[in-house]
Amino acid sequence: MKKQIAIAALTIGAFVLGTNTIQAQNTTATTTVNITLNDVISIDAGSTAIGNTVDFNYATAADYNSDQTVTKANSLKVTSTKNFNVKVKAGGANFMNGTSTIPVNVLTIKAAAAAGTMGGTKNAVVLSAADQTLVANAPLGSALTLNLDYTIPAAKSSSSDILGKPAGTYTQTVTYTATAL
């Protein structure tokens, strides 16, 4: 029995002494994390200006004698890592219906009253085939929206620019370009 007590005492002693000399191991690992940034500017999906149409319908005398405005929410959604400009231009000098034409300058494009989240200086643009600044120095941001009003004023719709033209649908493309500053 003394032998068993001695073995038990030695075992407990070894255990106690062993735990005193064993210290928790502390190891570390270091990882480098890189964030690589590239300048980005994009007219994002969800912009109603992508593949959409703006329709004006002149069916009555009142239509020809009044301003007509079509508002398009989220016309442009822009993501940019720098301040930027938005320019607009027509794909040609005229709206076309076969060989019949209406000059593109009958149309004015401007930010709607509730313009959206895009900042910057907003300009009303009488459409032409040349680039014109619609928004100047817009602050950088993600998915910034711009709601647009497309207007044909009565002064244009009741003039020879539109009156006297053959009935039908006149079409032209409008291109928006966002450019980082």
**C-alpha neighbours within 13 Å on the C-beta side of residue 124:** 11
Q: pLDDT value at position 72? A: 96
Adjacent-strand bridge partners of 80: 41, 141
- The continuous run of DSSP H or E covering 62 comes out as helix 61-64
Look-up: residue for tokens 């106690």?
16
Adjacent-strand bridge partners of 77: 145
* pLDDT, mean of each 10-residue run, the chain (181 residues): 55 54 77 92 92 94 96 96 97 96 97 96 97 97 96 96 96 96 94
Alpha-carbon distance of 50 to 40, in angstroms, equals 19
Q: pLDDT value at position 25? A: 81
Whether the Cβ atoms of residue 159 and residue 178 lie closer than 8 Å to each other: no
Whether the Cβ atoms of residue 170 and residue 92 lie closer than 8 Å to each other: no
The strand pair at 108-111 and 125-126 is best described as antiparallel
Q: pLDDT value at position 14? A: 53
Top-level CATH class of 41-180?
mainly beta
Q: pLDDT value at position 26? A: 84
Dmax of the chain from CA atoms? 125
- The continuous run of DSSP H or E covering 141 comes out as strand 141-152
